[in-house]
Amino acid sequence: MIELELAKLRWHQQKAQAKHRFDKNGNKILWKLSFDEWFKIWQDSGHWEQRGVGSGKYCMSRIDDIGNYEVGNVEIKTMNENVIEGQLGRKFPQKGRKGPRPPMSEETKQKISNATKGRTAWNKKDKEITLCV
């Protein structure tokens, strides 16, 4: 059984995160799901225990990454599926990268590998990790 207090916390978190987001057409995303509606969608999916961030985890997604969070426009899918779908047809901002990176050629991969041999990577724990040894 899903703990109700935890479910309410997760609902508030997802609702708060949606406030400052825009869909792939640049429109503000509105949250139109009551707790009961949101909770039922998760219960019916059977994936509550697999919710979360990361590969293989499940999330609540808007269909085609367009529109609001509302009954009839959301579905439960893996994070992997959601990320791929979210990038399709996205209008990228004027500054910075204009779209998804194209795949690297084998020649480019080899050049990067050669350039990074022997370098030490930075990480939060200050442990030394040698790249491409």
In this predicted structure, the answer to whether residue 21 has a pLDDT above a threshold of 50 is yes
Question: Are the C-beta atoms of 22 and 90 separated by less than 8 Å?
Answer: no
Tens digit of pLDDT for each residue in 26-73? Answer: 889 999 999 999 999 999 999 988 988 888 899 999 988 889 999 999
Q: What pTM was computed for the model?
A: 0.62
CA 108 to CA 113: how far, in whole Å?
9
- Decide the pairing of beta strands 74-78 and 58-62: antiparallel
Angle at 50 between CA 47 and CA 56, to 5 degrees: 110
- CB of 42 closer than 8 Å to CB of 76: yes
Q: For 14-108, list the strands marked E by DSSP.
A: 58-62, 74-78
**Predicted pLDDT of residue 50:** 92
Checking if the pLDDT of 89 tops 90, the result is no
